[in-house]
Amino acid sequence: MGRRILDLVVAAARAITENIVLISNSADADQWLSGVPVARDVRPERGSLVGIHTALSVTGTRTLVLAWDMPFLSPELLRLLVERSEREQFAVIPEGPSGLEPFCALFTQACLPVIAQAIDEGDLRATALPLRFPSFTRVSSSDVAAIDDPARLFFNVNSAADLATAERMAEAIRSRRQ
């Protein structure tokens, strides 16, 4: 792919906003992205839901939450989430091939106490989070598909095999553009 996945995610986000915060507890996270502030988890529990809680806590506003392991996120998809959030009180969550994608979603400050309660109860399942909100806007997989293939947009890299697959996918995209 030639670039770090984190750089690809940040590039997609920067097309929408310059206000980027990296949520990480890694000791060297301050070195990962020049000029991007790093926030450490504000709660002691461990889990990705704690990261969403931290993001909302430190931004104090509507927040696009993006996992760092999705190399094919696009500005068009992120723009759609922002547009759909204008009338939503809680969250805008797109649908991918495996269901809702809470790690590519927009959350409002109204979500913060709901997320805190889930963490307090020990329910760290991000997939269960939307069911806790009084409302949320679902971006259908067909709306996502109008932008690009949802399987590609939400593809995440969690292993060396996933990385190899992502590199093949990126090469196929480059070949089609030539």
Report the alpha-carbon distance of residue 57 to residue 98 in Å, rounded: 28
Half-sphere exposure of 31 (CA within 13 A, CB side): 3
Q: What per-residue confidence (pLDDT) applies to 178?
A: 76
Which amino acid does the sequence have at 34?
S
Residue with tokens 């400050």: 109
Q: What per-residue confidence (pLDDT) applies to 110?
A: 97
Neighbours of 143 (CB within 10 A): 15
Which amino acid does the sequence have at 44?
P
Low-confidence ranges of the chain (pLDDT < 70): 1-2
Would you say 63 and 107 are in contact if contact means Cβ atoms under 8 Å apart?
Answer: yes
Q: What per-residue confidence (pLDDT) applies to 173?
A: 85
Residue with tokens 């995440």: 156
- Would the pTM of this model clear 0.85, i.e. be above it? yes
Residue with tokens 């091939």: 97
Would you say 136 and 93 are in contact if contact means Cβ atoms under 8 Å apart?
Answer: yes
DSSP-derived secondary structure letter, 22: E
Q: Where are the domains of the chain?
A: 5-177
Residue 9 to residues 25, 33, 95, 117, Cα–Cα distance (Å):
18, 12, 18, 29
DSSP-derived secondary structure letter, 72: T
Residues 77-98 have pLDDT tens digits of: 999 999 999 889 999 999 999 9
Task: Select from 3.90.550.10, 3.40.50.970, 3.10.450.50, 1.10.8.80 the CATH code of 5-177.
Answer: 3.90.550.10
